[in-house]
Amino acid sequence: MNYIRTGMLMAGLTALFGAVGYLLGGSGGMLMALGFAAVTNLFSYWNSDRLPLAAHNAHEVDESTAPELYGMVRDLAARANMPMPRVYLIDEDQPNAFATGRNPQNAAVAATTGIMRTLSYEELAGVMAHELAHIKNHDTLTMTITATMAGAISSLVTFGMMFGSRENRPNMIVQILLSILAPLAAMVIQMAISRSREYEADKLGGEIAGNPVWLADALAKIAGGVAQIPNETAEAKPATAHMFIINPLTGGGMDSLFSTHPDTGNRIAALMEQARAMGVGRNATGGGFMSQAGQSPWSGSGSGRKSGPWG
């Protein structure tokens, strides 16, 4: 299903490329745009584990540089029966995280320094489980292709308006409409796909962590942090907004056509219902995530801790 969805996404955005190219430069412009779309699709596929990380200046960490985070991801990946992804940190005060990569064998998870200061160990475990769920569901390929193509469509419109031949260039009104509607159409496709995958990743993430309440509590804290702390890099590159666990451009969003994420309250409610079905609560430890050493992840941090054990 994920491969079908990715194929439909690529086909839809490629068709949009062709339509924009035709309006800007006639049949010749359409062929050039379709060629550009093909190259963009291929490039984003093979570089899907690098592009978003580079865009947000993420740096890779290991067991010696970030032992708790790295160990957490390793143990959660083992619990999910999936390959260990690479682990990255982003020097950003806003609490947030995302996953990327074309498949589980070529994947990475990234967390901001802000999220590590904001969340408790168990809450961060819920977030990392959510990101691993995206990788396991092959959502990360769709996410990266969408971000790359949406940004490229905006660039195509700008390029065509600035450098297209006068004979083929549409009148000024059409150019203005294209500059608004073409990126908007790409964004609608991007958002419609990204919303459904968040609920799926929340559910699987709750199962991987063993307690959906941890992720529910994390989402509430992250949403509050996002509302108060801007992410300037994300603001400059909004095409990557849908990749984060909470939209970094806003404090939340309605379940509407123009939202990259489901409403946070609805996500929390779904997670709490899942926790009730699993028979776990906020203070439950039975069946929850345990490190490979057999230690509870909140050992020594105390339940109800208001900040993470990351310094």
Q: Would residue 181 count as lying in a domain? A: yes
- Higher confidence at residue 29 or residue 212? 212
Q: Would residue 183 count as lying in a domain? A: yes
* pTM score of the predicted model: 0.75
DSSP sequence for 235-259: HH-GGGGGGBSS-TTSS---SSTT-
- Residues noted as catalytic: 131
Name the residue range of residue 148's domain.
Answer: 2-278
pLDDT, averaged across the chain: 78
CA distance 152 to 236: 14
Q: Would residue 285 count as lying in a domain? A: no
Q: Would residue 226 count as lying in a domain? A: yes
Number of domains in the chain: 1
Paired residues of 97 in beta bridges: 111
- pLDDT of 172 reads 62
Q: Would residue 311 count as lying in a domain? A: no
Three-state DSSP state, 112: strand
The 3-class secondary structure across 261-272, one letter per residue, is CCCHHHHHHHHH
Q: Would residue 307 count as lying in a domain? A: no
Residue type for 90, please? I
Q: Would residue 57 count as lying in a domain? A: yes
Q: Would residue 96 count as lying in a domain? A: yes
Q: Quick: pLDDT tens for 64-118.
A: 999 999 999 999 999 999 999 999 999 999 999 999 988 899 999 999 999 999 9
